[in-house]
Structure 1
Amino acid sequence: MKLRFLGSNSTGGDCPTLYATDRDSYIVQGWQLFANELLMQLDIPEGESAVEVPTELFEHLSNDGLRPGDIKHAAVPVMIVTPQGTCVVQGKAVADPDALSQMSIPDYETCVEIPKPAIIALLEETRGADLQR
């Protein structure tokens, strides 16, 4: 899998980051959820994972030609939107060695793959919406 960097919310390159793939999907790199209240709200199937990222990370979708939109409510793949301005994104756990070799992932982070149509549907659905789970 080949990745194209879309943007990050840090200057160090090892914090929440958004990539486009050559598989019509996005990789969302973010903070791992450990045994906390956010994780307890999810039912994560085998082979999937979840990451927490600032909602502003999705502004970088404009670097892939999408209208960024505001993430203000939960709808697959965004499972939780917190009052602190973060969201929990659930998707396929990235295990592809080629993809992982293209990223700098510290121990406290992981990444998930989200199909591009799921992101597009979310952005279309959230236009004008202001709902939270």
Structure 2
Amino acid sequence: MLTLKFLGAGGSGTGECPTLYATDQGTYAVQGWTTGRAETVEIPHLLVGFAEPDTFVGAELADTGRGTFTLVGRPITDPGTLAQMNLADDESAIEVPKQTRRFYGHAASPQ
């Protein structure tokens, strides 16, 4: 069972929104709209903005052209993990890597 920490939700007017969670395993749990494939969910663009500081969702995001992304991960099926979520009938959840941001640019010179 994963232990989840709520990070943010949005994109639905019903209260059961796509949601981003951090897990105790150093990954992200992504609750999103079902797509017909257990390993794929659809989420609003804004959801990735809830990632923890200096990290990002480490799954390929495919832009649907409708203000949403689809992403692929490991389906979450454990009842204890799912009990921590408020899944709507048209939602499912996947686990994806959490990646660390690295800065490779050049800082501005002091003026």
TM-score normalised to the size of structure 2? 0.77
Q: Structure 2: which amino acid aligns with 1:15?
A: C
Q: Does 1:105 align with 2:53?
A: no
The letter for the 2-side match of 1:107 is D
Shift of 1:114: 0.4
**d(CA) in 1 for partners of 2:41 and 2:75?**
10
Of 4, 9, 26, 1:24 maps to: 26
Report SS of the residue matched to 2:54.
Answer: coil
SS of residue in 2 equivalent to 1:98: helix
1:66 CA displacement: 2.9
Q: Name the structure 1 match of 2:7.
A: 6
Rounded Cα–Cα distance in structure 1 between residues aligned with 2:86 and 2:14: 10
Deviation string 1:3-47 (CA, Å, 9 cap, x unpaired) is 00000005754111000000000001000003xxxx6xxxxxxxx
* Structure that is richer in strand per residue: 2
Whole-angstrom CA distance in 2 between matches of 1:115 and 1:78: 10
Q: Which amino acid aligns with 2:73?
A: G
**Contact 2:9/2:47 (CA < 8 Å) preserved in 1?**
yes
The answer on whether the counterparts of 2:63 and 2:70 sit within 8 Å (CA) in structure 1 is yes
Write out aligned runs for 1:57-68 (5 A). Answer: 57-61=47-51, 64-66=52-54
Which residue of 2 is the match for residue 53 of structure 1? 43
Structure 1: tracts of 5 or more residues without a match:
40-47, 125-133
Larger Rg: 2
Counterpart contact for 2:28–2:95, Cα < 8 Å: yes
Alignment partner, residue 108 of structure 2: none
Q: CA deviation at 1:65?
A: 1.9
Which residue type is aligned with residue 29 of structure 1? Q
Return the TM-score normalized by structure 1.
Answer: 0.65
One-letter code of the match for 1:2? T
- Taking only aligned residues, the RMSD between alpha carbons, in angstroms, comes to 2.6
